[in-house]
Each structure stands twice: as structure tokens, then as C-alpha cells.
């Protein structure tokens, strides 16, 4: 019997309609729609280094409006929250711009929505208590303190499909308690597990409808690291441009790591206002 034809071997040839590329548009209409499937007890990776231009402010506000609770949140900083930020706004404005729509992790803590924080900076060396510090002292939240580099690598490992890795950081300290420690070349290393989330909430400067992202300034830090490290990645951006307008050399996060894109409002909006 002779060799089978391609049609016999692979099934019917695709039609002209099937050959056309499937349109991709990851831009969603609103922040409330973008976070609509976040559930009680979800693990959130929230990007940003800690400054006003780093946080996915309106995504955080949408989570606050949704009212989900018992959240486990991984972030670099625990945030300021609305009440404390208002008290220190004048003092902070001497150092950096303090926009009226600075909504950070502290907002979720103030509203009692966070059960546990996986953080590098849960507190600050100041005379005032941040919302997370206060909640921790009152026994309302748990904390897992993670060195900053280790936190970044645990998240990066999740995106790369690496289950765990060894690091010398934290060996011989409380960070290593309850973890496997092995010696390599005469030096102790701590086994750290990948940190994968249910949702990554990140901030970028520009996106196209495919989800390719370009960052600006310090927002590139944990935002770029967290993209793709969760089941769903949602990007808050300043602007959406047409496909092809982003310089490929400037794209930091490929669209394959991004599931949803939502555009920030042009003018500051109150956190409690649906948008």
C-alpha cells in the first residue's frame, strides 16, 4: 500500500477562514471586570517597588471594592494605606510626588482583606506604624519575611517552571528555620520554593492589545518579575498602542505572559468609584 497523502494522514485541509489569524485583544473595558474572578483566599502577587509610580493602584482599588477577604499577598513593600498617607503627605511631598490616586497594599490591609503578607519590607524605620505593622501587632495578619533578592527569585522561578532552588541568603538565620539546608563547596545553602500566585497585578507604561509591555523607571522592578508567575496576569497601563508601535527592543514582558490589560484613567479617580 502506497504512502498516505497529507489529507489522509492529517485530516481535511484547513478552510480559508481557518487559515486567518485569530484576533487577539487582551484589553478589558474596566478595572472591575479585570479583577472580577479574584476570589476569597486567593494568592496575589502585587508588583511595584513601593513608590507611587510602581503600584498597580487602580487594580488594587478594584480588589478593595470587590471586598474579597483572606488574601495572601506577596509584594516588596506593605504599602502606606490611605489614612497614613494622608497624614504624612506634606512631609513626603518634599521627597517625591504624592499623587491623589496612590492606592497601595495598605488599602487592602486597612479594609481587613489580607490574611497574610509575604514581604521584604513589612515595616519602615519611622515613628509611625504602617497599616500592616499595626495589623500584625494586633494579631490580625500573618507575615512571612523574605529577603528581597530571594523574593524576586522565588517569583521568577515560578514563571520559569522551577520548583525550588538553593541560595546562601538567610543561612544561619531565622529565614532558614524549617527549611532544608545543604552545604555546597563548604558553604550552607537554604532551599527556597517557587512562589506562584493565582493572580499577578502589575503596572506598566505601555501595552499593545497582544499584551506586550514596556515599563518606565522603577516600575520595571517587581512588576516585570511577577508577569507570568501566576495563573492570571493583569497589567495596569498608562496607554495602549497599536500592534507594531512598540519597539521590539524595548519590550520587556512579552504578551505571552499577560492575560489582561486595562488602561488607567487620564485623571485621578477616588478608589471607591467603580471604574
d(CA 19, CA 146): 49
Range of the domain at 187: 24-263
Q: 77 lies in a domain?
A: yes
Task: Say if 152 falls within a structural domain.
Answer: yes
Answer yes or no: is 245 within a domain: yes
Question: pTM value?
Answer: 0.88
Mean of all residue pLDDT scores within the chain:
90
Is 88 part of any domain?
A: yes
Report if residue 9 sits inside a domain: no
Residue 193 placed within a domain: yes
Residue 234 sits in a domain whose CATH number is 3.40.1080.10
pLDDT digits (tens, 9 = 90+) for 13-32: 656 655 566 568 999 999 99
10 belongs to a structural domain: no
pLDDT at 5: 45
Mean predicted confidence (pLDDT) in 226-248? 96
Q: What is the pLDDT of residues 90-146, one digit of tens each?
A: 777 777 777 888 899 999 999 999 999 999 998 876 677 889 999 999 999 999 999
Of 204 and 124, the structure prediction assigns the larger pLDDT to 204
For residue 4, how many C-alpha atoms fall within 13 Å in the half-sphere facing its CB? Answer: 6
- Helix, strand, coil percent content, the chain, rounded in steps of 5: 30, 25, 45
Structural domains of the chain, count: 1
Identify the residue whose cell numbers are 516588596.
76
157-182: per-residue pLDDT in tens? 999 999 999 999 999 999 999 999 99
Tell me the CB-side half-sphere exposure of residue 58, using CA atoms within 13 A. 25
Task: Tell me how crowded residue 165 is: count the other CB atoms within 10 A of its CB.
Answer: 17
Q: What per-residue confidence (pLDDT) applies to 22?
A: 58
Kindly report, residue by residue over 37-87, the tens digit of the pLDDT.
999 999 999 998 887 778 999 999 999 999 999 999 999 999 988 888 888
Q: Which positions ≥6 away from 147 have C-beta within 8 Å?
A: 120, 169, 170, 175
Tell whether 8 is covered by a domain.
no
- Judge whether 205 and 177 are in contact, CB under 8 Å: no
pLDDT per position as a tens digit, 114-128: 999 999 998 876 677
Amino acid at each position: 500500500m502506497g504512502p498516505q497523502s497529507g489529507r489522509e494522514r492529517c485530516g481535511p485541509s484547513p478552510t480559508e477562514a481557518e487559515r486567518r489569524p485569530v484576533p487577539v485583544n487582551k484589553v478589558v473595558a474596566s478595572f472591575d471586570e479585570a479583577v472580577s474572578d479574584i476570589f476569597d483566599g486567593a494568592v496575589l502577587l502585587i508588583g511595584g517597588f513601593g513608590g507611587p509610580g510602581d503600584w498597580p493602584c487602580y487594580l488594587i482599588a478594584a480588589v478593595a471594592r470587590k471586598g474579597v477577604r483572606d488574601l495572601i499577598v506577596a509584594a516588596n513593600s506593605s504599602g502606606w494605606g490611605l489614612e497614613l498617607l494622608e497624614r504624612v503627605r506634606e512631609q513626603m511631598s518634599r521627597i517625591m510626588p504624592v499623587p491623589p490616586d496612590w492606592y497601595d497594599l495598605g488599602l487592602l490591609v486597612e479594609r481587613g482583606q489580607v490574611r497574610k503578607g509575604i514581604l521584604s519590607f513589612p515595616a519602615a524605620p519611622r515613628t509611625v506604624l504602617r497599616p500592616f505593622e499595626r495589623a500584625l501587632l494586633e494579631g490580625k495578619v500573618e507575615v512571612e519575611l523574605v529577603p528581597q533578592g530571594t523574593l524576586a527569585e522565588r517569583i521568577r522561578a515560578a514563571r520559569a517552571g522551577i520548583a525550588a532552588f538553593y541560595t546562601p541568603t538567610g543561612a544561619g538565620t531565622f529565614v532558614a528555620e524549617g527549611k532544608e539546608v545543604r552545604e555546597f563547596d563548604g558553604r550552607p545553602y537554604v532551599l527556597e520554593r517557587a512562589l506562584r500566585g493565582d493572580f499577578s497585578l502589575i503596572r506598566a507604561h505601555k501595552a499593545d492589545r497582544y499584551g506586550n509591555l514596556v515599563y518606565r523607571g522603577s516600575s520595571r522592578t517587581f512588576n516585570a518579575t511577577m508577569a507570568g508567575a501566576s495563573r492570571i496576569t493583569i497589567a495596569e497601563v498608562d496607554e495602549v498602542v497599536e500592534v507594531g508601535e512598540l519597539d521590539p527592543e524595548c519590550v520587556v514582558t512579552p504578551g505571552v505572559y499577560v492575560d489582561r490589560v486595562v488602561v488607567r484613567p487620564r485623571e485621578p479617580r477616588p478608589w471607591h468609584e467603580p471604574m
